[in-house]
Structure 1
């Protein structure tokens, strides 16, 4: 019985050491995967910011705002970089804030809105409230771009592209330079 005790103790210590090494290995692998996912999400957010700023630079309002007011509506997946605030290439600052979809200030205090995930009912009420107000709208969440939004982002691992709803553009009161419409067609043609 005395002989078995030291062997059992050595096996237990060896088992613990192996388990500890495996946990460290899997932990390091999980951290590396989390870091890669975080980097990819950060890259997507930066790419979305560039596309959003590009779209905004091609827009003209009936009365040009000195400071562009961009409102984020609903939960967003790619707007983290936008939230930090930014400046357009022209030097015009972009003030970014989050508002709820039913906030009555959207139509009067937002020059542009970036829409995340909303229910159909919320989207309908939002676009009803925006009717007659010059507000540029962009959607990020699986939007077929058939109702409401002027621009619908399509985010993938390789690029951020967008669709344009010409009917919504015509009704928005915001003028969009034709170059952005051509850019949309060109990106749609890319694989």
Structure 2
């Protein structure tokens, strides 16, 4: 009878070792997913802070009591921004998603956050914004030569931005000079 008990204990002990081994083998996969999701959340929060910072240093011909930020196109980093927020000045920021061909995009939005668009969609959007005081921020950095005022550079360590001075001059939105200097400093650091 002692032998049978020992066999049962051994059987249970062996199963525990197998279970422990399986859990240890799975731990790196679970741990690898957790930091990646937290890094993505951190990037989204950093993008929100940069966007709010840019908006706080912008001045429109007629200052809105509540800032309307419109998100156009598929984006990667707007999860935190979509919640809506308040600027450091206390001015509320309302965030909404609009389709690229929304007829009121130039009048319903003080600022436009631009995600991934085709060349044709981007062209139509900027054509609809001509002559309107709308600040535009592109999520991808390659659009700064195509009409956006600001182009974000999102990395694991920081979020920086570039400024298209030609677009700023034509937009009707005034940007504080310190923001323009900040973009130059960040662009030159590796």
TM-score normalised according to structure 2 size: 0.88
Structure 1 regions of 5+ residues with no counterpart? 1-9
Aligned to 2:178: 179
CA distance in 2, matches of 1:184, 1:49: 17
Residue 167 in structure 1 maps to residue 166 in structure 2: yes
Partner residue in 1 for 2:60: 61
Q: How much has 1:52 moved relative to structure 2?
A: 0.5
Kindly indicate whether the alpha-carbon contact (under 8 Å) linking 2:160 and 2:187 is maintained by their aligned counterparts in 1.
yes
Instruction: Say whether 1:83 aligns with 2:77.
Output: no
* Structure-2 change in CA distance of 1:137 and 1:21 (3 Å): same
In the other structure, the counterpart of 1:123 is 122
Contact 2:141 2:162 (C-alpha < 8 Å) held by counterparts = no
- After superposition, the C-alpha distances for 1:120-173 in whole angstroms (9 at most, x for unaligned) are 111001000111111000001242410110000001111111110011001111
**How far has the Cα of 1:20 moved from its partner?**
4.6
Q: 2 CA distance for matches of 1:84 and 1:23?
A: 40
Q: Secondary structure at the match of 2:113?
A: strand
Alignment of 1:20-39 (within 5 A): 20-39=19-38
RMSD: 1.9
Report the counterpart of residue 44 of structure 2 in structure 1: 45
Deviation at 1:17, TM superposition (A): 6.8
Q: C-alpha distance in 1, partners of 2:141/2:101?
A: 21
Alpha-carbon distance in structure 2 between the residues aligned to 1:174 and 1:74: 22
**2:5 aligned residue:** none
Tell me how far 1:26 sits from its aligned partner. Answer: 3.4
Offset, 1:101: 1.2
Distance 1:187 1:65 in 2: 29
| 1:22-48: CA deviation from partner (whole Å, max 9, x where unpaired) | 442333222211110011011111111
Q: Which residue of 2 aligns with 1:73?
A: 72
Structure 1 residue 188 and structure 2 residue 187: aligned? yes
Equivalenced residue count is 181
What is the TM-score when the length of structure 1 is the normalising length?
A: 0.88
Match of 2:99 in 1: 100
Mapped to 2, the partners of 1:167 and 1:142 lie a distance apart of: 16
Shifted more, 138-147 versus 95-104: the winner is 138-147
> 1:4 is matched with which residue?
none
